Amino acid sequence: MWDEREELKQERREFGSGLGRAALAFLVFSLAASFEVRAQSQASTTPAHREVTDETGRVVRLPAQIMRIVSLAPSLTETVYALGLQDKLVGDTEYCDYPPDATKKHKVGGAINPNMEEIALLKPDVVLVVKSLNRLETVRALEQLGIPVYSADPHDVTAVLASMKRLSEVLGAEDAGAALDAKLRERLAAIHAKLNGVAPIPVLFVVWTEPLMSIGRKTFIADVLEHARATSVVDSRQDWPQFSLEEAVRLQPEYLVFASSHSETVRNDVEALALKPGWSALRAIKNRKITIVGDAINRPGPRIVDAVEELSWQLHPEAFAEKD
């Protein structure tokens, strides 16, 4: 009798345990089904596309998530890397050489005349351009192919920072954009603090020597000079004005500023200028007051504060004596 009762209890326990497992399995299945229905419902209500306004005022229709990017400007390529989105960069130009990894990306030609067929084959969700560099014809050609184009258009250092932050939001990297913006603004403020009370130096920024070409007052490079407590002796509404050497001699800048990633080559070229007729009349040439900064000064991107710092240090070394 005792054994029969024990067997009966064991059967009941096993039955209850099995019933519990079945109930648990049913509960898990129900929850999974509920989550799936909810996910499908959310997916059906989440828009596949969105509209943003770029910095030229154009309304651009973009996918909800950007997965494939083509950059047609070195500065924008640098920004994509600074935001940590390099894995989404499927193509860039022949001139996109920083950071070094950018040279390994699929090349779509130059910034002025990119290869439309190459771009189309990459199936980008968006193509990034800069108004001051890329042509309107390029934008229109891409639009005709049904490829969204987002254009940046910064004109000063503060606008460059704001432009990068805005682009981070467009590309879905808001947190990275906010962190980058805060870091660069903090560095810029530190430079301003060192230069507080320093008198600006008149300089001639030389874009090209033959013909002689400089920068206009509305360019972001002119604003870089201002942040570095320098001022361009050229006051022109044109972005890249040409003028005569005689005019440069009349203006007599205290410093000549050149930009290059190969400073020794430029320095040799500058030394050669002193032997050319007319150039020796510039006091900056006579006194060898020549400043050569990296190519970051030519790119309205994340290294723009580097350019301000480098130029400030060369023009006002006394303000950075602690750094020395």
Q: How would DSSP label each residue in 256-318? A: EEEE-S-HHHHHHHHHHHTTSTTGGG-HHHHTT-EEEE-GGGG--STTHHHHHHHHHHHH-GG
CA–CA–CA angle 70, 75, 79 (5° rounding): 75
Q: Where are the domains of the chain?
A: 49-153, 197-321
Q: Confirm if 67 and 51 have CB atoms less than 8 A apart.
A: no
Tokens 């999974």 belong to residue: 32
Q: Confirm if 323 and 307 have CB atoms less than 8 A apart.
A: no
Identical fold, 49-153 and 197-321: yes
Query: Quick one: CATH architecture of 197-321?
Result: 3-Layer(aba) Sandwich (3.40)
Write the DSSP symbol of residue 198. Answer: P
pLDDT digits (tens, 9 = 90+) for 203-247: 999 998 888 899 999 899 999 999 999 999 999 999 999 988 899
Q: Which fold has domain 49-153?
A: Rossmann fold (3.40.50)
Q: Count the alpha carbons within 13 Å of 172 in the hemisphere toward its beta carbon.
A: 13
pLDDT digits (tens, 9 = 90+) for 127-139: 999 999 999 999 9
Angle between helix axes 304-315 and 157-170 (nearest 10 degrees) is: 160
pTM (2 d.p.)? 0.81
**Banded pLDDT at 275 (limits 50, 70, 90):** confident
